[in-house]
Amino acid sequence: MMGQVVMTGQTMQPEAQLSFLDRFRAMRETRFGAFVPVLLALAAIWAYFGLALPFYDLLSGEAESFRSIFLSPRNIYNLFMQSAVIATLAVGITIVLLLGDIDLSAAATAGVCAALLGVLVLAGVPGWLACVMVMAAGIVMGAAQGLLVAYVGIPSFVVTLAGLLGYQGLMQKILPTGNLNVGDEFVRGIARVLIPDLWGLAIGLICVAAFATLNLRKQAQRKARGLELDAPLALWGQVIVFSGLVITIILTLNAYRSLPLLLVLLVGITALLGWITTSTPFGRSLFAVGGNPESARRVGMKVKRIRVAAFGIVGLMAAIGGIFGASRFGSVSYTAFAGGSLLLEAIGAAVIGGTSLFGGRGSVWNAILGALVIGSLGNGLDLTGASAADKLMVSGAILLLAVAIDAVSRSGSNGGR
C-alpha cells in the first residue's frame, strides 16, 4: 500500500532518483501513509516529555530515580480526557475542511449547546432528552450557516466568523452569570462511567478482530476478482500496528482506572463519520467538492445540499462536544467554550492531523491524533511548569509546521500539471 504510488508514463522518474520530498508526497497520498507525520509528531512529543525530560532531570540530579510522570497511566488517562472535547470538535471541523470550507463558530456552537443543556436539565428536562434537544439545536445552528454559504454564496470564513460572534453573544444571553453547574446524573455519567476492565479489553479485542477480518476479507475479494493486491507487508503491518495501539491504550487506561465511556463514544462516533466520509457516495462527494467543485457539479452532485449537510454535521459534533465538556467539567462556563482557546485548538488539531485547509484531503481519524498532539503539548508543558505564554508560542509553531507540510504536499500534486 505504501509503495505503489510511483507512476509510469511521461513524467515518471526512475525510482532511485525520487527526491525525499517526492517520496514524502507519495507516502502522504496513501491511505495509511497520511497518518505517519502526525504519529511521528506524537511520538516525538511523548518521547520528549516522557523520556528526555525525566532523563535530563536524573542526570542533572534533580530527581533521584528515573520517573516519567508524563507517561504514567494516570497522566495518559487525563491526557485522553482533556483532548476529548478538542477531538470531538476537530472531527466535525474536518468534515467542512474536506469541502475546502472552514467553521470558526464550532466552539461557540458547542458553548451555546452546553449552556442550553445546563439550563434544560436545571429546568427539570430529563438528561437524555436534553442531550437530544441540544444535538438538534447544534444541527440547526450549523446547517443555518451552511445555507448561507451554499445558497447565498457568502464565503464560509465570513459566515462562520459572524456565527462565532453571534453565538458567543447568544451563550452570554443564556448564561448571564457566565457559569452554571450541571449536576444531572445522565449528563455527568457520560464522562464518569467507566467500562469494567475486562469489558474494555473485550471491546478492544473485538475492534482488532473486526479490523483484521475486514482487511483480510478485502484482500481475498481483490484476489478473487483479479484486482491488484496490497503488499502483504503493508497489510499485516497495518493490522499489527493497529492491534498494538488499541491493546496498549486499553491496558494503560485499565492500569489507572478503566476505559471511560466518553472515549468509547468518541471513537464510535468517529468510526461512523470515518465510514461515511470514506465509504459512501456522500463521503465521496465531500472529497469531490473539496478537490474540484466544478467537476462535482458537472457530474450532477448536489453541491449546495452537500455543503449544508456538512455544516449540519459540524453543528452536531459541536453539540456533542458541548455535552462532553459539560459532562467532564460538571459545569458550563463561557471561557471553557465560546470565549477560550477551544476553537483554535480544534482547528489546529484537524490541520496538525493532516487534513488540508485547501480541501479534498484528510480524515477524521487524523483529527483525533491531531487533538492528541495539541493535548499532549498542553499537558506536557503544564507538567514542566511552562507559562501560558510558552504554551501559546509552542502551539503556534507546531500549527505553522503542520500547515507548511500541508502546503508542500499540495504543491506536489500541482506540479504534475
- The dihedrals phi and psi of 195, each to the nearest 5 degrees, come to -80, 130
Closest approach of Cβ 250 to other proteins, in Å?
A: 28
Interface pick for other proteins out of 2, 24, 26, 366 (rule CB under 8 A): 26
Nearer to other proteins, 90 or 99 (CB): 99
Query: Which residues in 263-292 contact other proteins (CB under 8 A)?
Result: 276, 279-282, 284-285, 287-288, 290-292
C-alpha cell at 107: 466552539
Interface pick for other proteins out of 4, 181, 213, 248 (rule CB under 8 A): 4
Site mask for other proteins (CB under 8 A), range 330-369, x = bound = ------------------------------xx--------
Nearer to other proteins, 12 or 44 (CB): 12
Beta carbons of 374 and 112 less than 8 angstroms apart = no
Binding of residue 5 to other proteins (CB under 8 A): yes
Residue spans of alpha helices (H) in 292-361? 293-298, 303-329, 342-353
Residue from 125, 30, 86, 163 nearest 344 by CA: 86
Count of residues in the chain:
417
Provide the CA 228 distance to its chain's centre, in angstroms. Answer: 31
Do the bridges between strand 259-260 and strand 179-181 make them parallel or antiparallel, or are there none, so unpaired? unpaired
Site mask for other proteins (CB under 8 A), range 126-165, x = bound = ----------------------------------------
Rg (CA), the chain: 22
Nearer to other proteins, 296 or 377 (CB): 296
Binding of residue 407 to other proteins (CB under 8 A): no
Contact range with other proteins by CB under 8 A, out of 34-42, 123-131, 215-223, 250-258: 215-223
Task: Find all residues with CB under 8 Å of 71, minimum gap 6, and list them.
Answer: 46, 49, 50, 51
C-alpha cell at 212: 483484521
Residue with cell 432528552: 129
- Interface positions with other proteins (CB under 8 A): 4-5, 7-11, 26, 29, 218, 221-222, 225, 227-228, 276, 279-282, 284-285, 287-288, 290-292, 294-296, 298-301, 360-361, 412-414, 416-417
